[in-house]
């Protein structure tokens, strides 16, 4: 019997990846340290196989009862979340939730027919083992893998994939009170949870930050911001801030890409797009290279994250608006560079060519002083020039102007 004056609660509303794994295992460890039941409130589209198996292993070998509560209403325990739910000692669902759709998919790599079949068979064997061990409907559990079936809370309860339906957390504690749950090794616990204090384990700042960074839309935006920042720095050397922001954004994006299933072809197309922007600035391709860069960015963005689950990819609206924004900014920067190249220099010695001035002192042996741009310059001329004559700068040699009398 486990008298529970308190229960520990962790809430996950994100894909299963190393950061959510770290959070769940940390919360479970706290529950074990205090000999308290552990409740995992789960709402996930799925995630990575490695993280899923690590979570399952710790839950099944935990020294305290583990409850998975699929909530809130509208939530789901799909794919990897389904396996995690089946590995729990007790499964509850809120009204309007679902679980299943657990057919394995290739995350970031292409599988041939043979490899795909092997992965599917492995997942089927695992789910059969979990269902049989927990006394659940083996056929229904296996069809969630082989046929990607998904079950609402009533169907899951009728098929013994779930143990209870609870409207909220207080109701769940009432349902758990007096229940006997068992571990795979035969250990049994009779729960006394009525009136138990709920200790919610929050994510640390680090976990929250990294979970946000791992969001596909944000990771994609950081990649584009990083590339744009570096492009700005290369096209306008010395700006510093765009380069710093771009570098930090790229590092954060590459961290997220360690978690997300990335297509190398999509990433290369995005890099090609940035390369075409650079080429446009260098060779002045009348906008064609720049437009080509925008097209490459768009196609590469669509291909970048390979996942059949929309929640694991940036949305089309995010991709479209980001590509349009980056393309317009890049083309504007290209325009500024082109205009600067075309315009006559306004500063330095080269900016003096063609400027008019006035002789300040009579020229002696071809040398004298002139006023140009409000500044007094040493000048030379092949003509005899008198004070007050108007002259035109024809050349610059060091700090000496070569002038001629204005016609």
Residue with tokens 């600035």: 281
Per-residue confidence (pLDDT) for residue 2, from 0 to 100: 58
Residue with tokens 């610059």: 396
User: How far is 97 from 93, CA to CA, in rounded Å?
Assistant: 7
Select 2-205's CATH number: 3.90.226.10, 3.40.630.40, 3.40.50.1000, 3.40.50.1370.
3.90.226.10
DSSP state of 388: T
Query: What is the distance, to the nearest Å, from the Cα of residue 307 to the centroid of all Cα atoms in its chain?
Result: 14
Question: How distant, in Å, are the alpha carbons of 7, 58, 68, 359, 384 from that of 52?
Answer: 23, 10, 14, 85, 91
Q: Give the pair of three-digit tokens for residue 194.
A: 């009525």
User: How far is 329 from 400, CA to CA, in rounded Å?
Assistant: 41
Residue with tokens 């990294």: 210
359, containing H or E segment:
strand 356-364
Homologous superfamily (CATH) for 349-405: Nucleic acid-binding proteins (2.40.50.140)
Q: Which residues of 154-166 are buried (b: 16+ CB within 10 A; e: fewer)?
A: ebbbebbbbbbbb
Per-residue confidence (pLDDT) for residue 210, from 0 to 100: 85
User: Are 94 and 73 a contacting pair, CB within 8 Å?
Assistant: yes
Number of residues that this document lists for the chain: 407
Residue with tokens 């990897």: 80
Per-residue confidence (pLDDT) for residue 23, from 0 to 100: 97
Question: How distant, in Å, are the alpha carbons of 42, 58, 83 from that of 142?
Answer: 21, 23, 11
Taking only the tens of pLDDT, the chain with its 407 residues reads 555 689 999 999 988 888 999 999 999 999 999 999 999 999 998 888 889 999 999 999 999 999 999 999 999 999 899 999 999 999 999 999 999 987 665 444 455 555 566 767 888 888 999 999 988 999 999 999 988 899 999 999 999 999 999 999 999 999 999 999 988 888 888 898 888 899 999 999 989 988 888 888 888 889 888 988 887 777 666 667 888 888 899 888 888 887 777 788 888 998 898 888 878 767 765 667 878 888 898 999 888 877 655 666 787 888 888 888 888 888 787 777 666 556 555 555 566 778 889 999 889 888 999 988 767 889 999 888 999 999 999 888 878 889 999 87
User: How far is 22 from 47, CA to CA, in rounded Å?
Assistant: 14
Per-residue confidence (pLDDT) for residue 108, from 0 to 100: 42
Question: How distant, in Å, are the alpha carbons of 98, 117, 243, 344 from that of 144?
Answer: 12, 15, 48, 70
CB atoms within 10 A of CB 244: 12
Phi, psi of 76, rounded to the nearest 5 degrees: -155, 160
Question: How is the chain split into domains, by residue range?
Answer: 2-205, 215-342, 349-405
Per-residue confidence (pLDDT) for residue 258, from 0 to 100: 73
User: Are 274 and 292 a contacting pair, CB within 8 Å?
Assistant: no
Per-residue confidence (pLDDT) for residue 4, from 0 to 100: 64
Per-residue confidence (pLDDT) for residue 107, from 0 to 100: 45
Instruction: Say if residue 30 is exposed, middle or buried (CB neighbours under 10 Å; 0-12, 13-18, 19+).
Output: middle
Question: At 71, is the secondary structure helix, strand, or coil?
Answer: coil
User: How far is 84 from 48, CA to CA, in rounded Å?
Assistant: 12
């Amino acid at each position: 019997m486990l008298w529970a004056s308190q229960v520990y609660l962790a809430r996950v509303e994100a894909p299963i990846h190393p950061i959510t794994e770290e959070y769940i295992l940390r919360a479970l460890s706290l529950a074990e340290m205090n000999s308290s039941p552990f409740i995992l409130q789960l709402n996930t589209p799925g995630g990575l196989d490695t993280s899923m198996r690590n979570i399952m292993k710790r839950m099944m070998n935990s020294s305290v009862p583990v409850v998975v509560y699929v909530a809130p209403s509208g939530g789901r325990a799909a794919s990897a979340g389904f396996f995690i739910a089946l590995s729990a000692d007790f499964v509850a669902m809120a009204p309007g939730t679902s679980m299943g759709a657990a057919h394995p998919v290739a995350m970031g790599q292409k599988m041939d027919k043979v490899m795909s079949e092997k992965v599917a068979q492995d997942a089927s064997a695992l789910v059969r083992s979990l269902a049989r061990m927990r006394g659940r409907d083996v056929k229904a559990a296996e069809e969630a893998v082989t046929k990607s079936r998904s079950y609402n809370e009533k169907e899951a309860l009728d098929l013994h994939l779930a143990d209870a339906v609870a409207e909220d957390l207080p109701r769940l504690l009432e349902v758990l009170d007096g229940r006997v749950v068992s571990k795979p090794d035969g250990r049994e616990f009779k729960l006394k949870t009525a009136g138990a204090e709920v200790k919610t384990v929050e994510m640390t700042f680090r976990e929250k930050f990294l979970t946000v960074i791992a969001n596909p839309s944000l990771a994609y935006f950081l990649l584009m911001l990083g590339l744009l920042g570096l492009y700005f720095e290369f096209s306008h050397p010395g700006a510093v801030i765009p380069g710093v922001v771009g570098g930090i954004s790229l590092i954060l994006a590459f961290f997220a890409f360690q978690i997300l299933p990335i297509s190398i072809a999509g990433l290369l197309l995005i890099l090609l797009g940035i390369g075409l922007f650079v080429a446009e600035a260098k060779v002045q391709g009348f906008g064609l290279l720049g437009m080509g860069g925008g097209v490459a960015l768009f196609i590469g963005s669509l291909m970048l994250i390979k996942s059949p689950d929309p929640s694991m990819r940036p949305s089309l609206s995010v991709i479209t608006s980001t590509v349009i924004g980056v393309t317009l900014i890049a083309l504007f920067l290209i325009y500024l560079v082109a205009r600067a190249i075309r315009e006559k220099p306004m500063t330095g010695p080269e900016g003096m060519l063609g400027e008019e001035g006035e002789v300040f002192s009579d020229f002696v042996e071809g040398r004298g002083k002139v006023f140009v741009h409000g500044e007094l310059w040493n000048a030379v001329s092949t003509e005899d020039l008198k004070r007050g004559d108007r002259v035109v700068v024809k050349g610059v040699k060091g700090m000496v102007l070569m002038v001629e009398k204005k016609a």
